[in-house]
Amino acid sequence: MTMSPELMLLFEFGLKMLLTAAIVVVASVAVERSGPFIGALIAALPTAAGAAYIILAIEHPPAFIAASAVGTVVANAVVAVFALAYAALAQRHGLLVSLGGALLVWSAGAAAMHQMTWTPLGAVLLNALVFAITVWASRRFRIGGPPAGHPKAGAQDIALRAVTVAVFVVLVTTASHRIGSLASGMLAVFPVAMSSFFVILHPRIGGRAAATVAAHVQAPLIGLGLGFLAVHHLAVPMGTWWALAAGLVISVTWNGLLWAWKQRAAGR
């Protein structure tokens, strides 16, 4: 027995929504039960991006995924600028101005990057330049973060966040057939999940405390870029699923090294 095209389409949309919502809920709870550094490590993991790529992998061949990964590495640098912009604006402004301004920065940066032709080497050089600036510039915002265990989002907050991110992933993956691989890869790391964390944190603990998560996220984002660089190089020779698994391992390993370094520094 085979499904009709209409049922298949509904099944596909349902799978996208369920998969994305599950990932975001798990990540959200973990972020809000930890301090800003651990929260940043989790926020920098490929949550919404990972869900988007899983669906892209189902719908597109490895060559498309490899090309998309270059766009993701490029956009990863723009996410770093977004996080820095939010951290700076949140020192004196409310959620609307802080997050709205940061999203405008991301949109302008992504639009500018999309006008250029990118190679993997060019994407890596862009990340090296941007992170050299953003890691240094965000250092003064990494002080005075919220204590571990506070605040915890309610069930309605998490549900709303999960639905928002799930809808976004559905839109991106559906649009991928029209906008091409580079734009799909760039949109996959649009900071919708990170923005949802700030929507919860900013009103509850204040802008300066919420900004510490954005400031701490800079170094972990480097691992996200390295992971998708691996996806680009491995998708065609190894297959999409092995490439995505390798990218996830690289991202998680990088964050583990950062955590170990932080523990060692604290011990001193």
Average pLDDT, rounded, for the chain: 79
Highest mean pLDDT among 103-117, 121-135, 197-211: 121-135
Q: Is residue 141 part of a domain?
A: yes
DSSP secondary structure letter of residue 141: G
Which pLDDT band, with edges at 50, 70 and 90, does 24 fall under?
low
Higher-pLDDT residue of 199, 147: 199
pLDDT at site 7: 58
Q: What is the mean pLDDT of residues 24-38?
A: 65
Q: What is the pLDDT of residue 3?
A: 46
Opening angle at CA 17, ends 12 and 20, nearest 5: 120
Tens-digit pLDDT profile for residues 204-245: 777 888 888 888 889 899 999 999 999 999 999 999 999 999
**Residue 35 lies inside a defined structural domain of this protein:** no
Does any domain span residue 165? yes
Per the structure, how many domains does the chain have? 1
Decide which of 14 and 72 is more confident.
Answer: 72
Q: What pLDDT does residue 212 have?
A: 86
Q: Rounded CA gap, 14 and 59, in Å?
A: 15
Q: Which domain holds residue 105?
A: 58-259
pLDDT band at residue 198 using 50, 70 and 90 as cut-offs: confident
Spatial distance between the Cα atoms of 69 and 93, rounded to a whole number of angstroms? 34
pLDDT category at 149 given cuts 50, 70, 90 is very low
Sign (positive/negative) of CA torsion 5, 183, 105, 19? Answer: positive
pLDDT at position 169, please? 57
Which of 114-118, 129-133, 235-239 comes out lowest in average pLDDT?
114-118
> What amino acid occupies position 59?
E
Could you give the CA distance from residue 209 to residue 87 in angstroms, rounded to a whole number? 9
Residue 78: per-residue pLDDT: 94
Confirm whether 105 is domain-assigned. Answer: yes
- Residue 124 pLDDT level (bands cut at 50, 70, 90): very high
pLDDT of residue 1: 41
The pLDDT, as a whole number, for residue 94 is 87
Is residue 86, in this structure, part of any structural domain at all? yes
Average pLDDT over residues 43-48: 74
| Res 44 pLDDT > 60 | yes
**Does residue 266 fall inside a structural domain?**
no
Statement: residue 152 has pLDDT above 60: no
Q: Does any domain span residue 219?
A: yes
What pLDDT is stored for residue 204 in this prediction? 72
Average pLDDT over residues 137-153: 65
Of the candidates 18, 37, 50, the one whose C-alpha atom is nearest the C-alpha of residue 248 is 50
User: DSSP assignment, residue 212?
Assistant: H
Residue 89 maps to a domain: yes
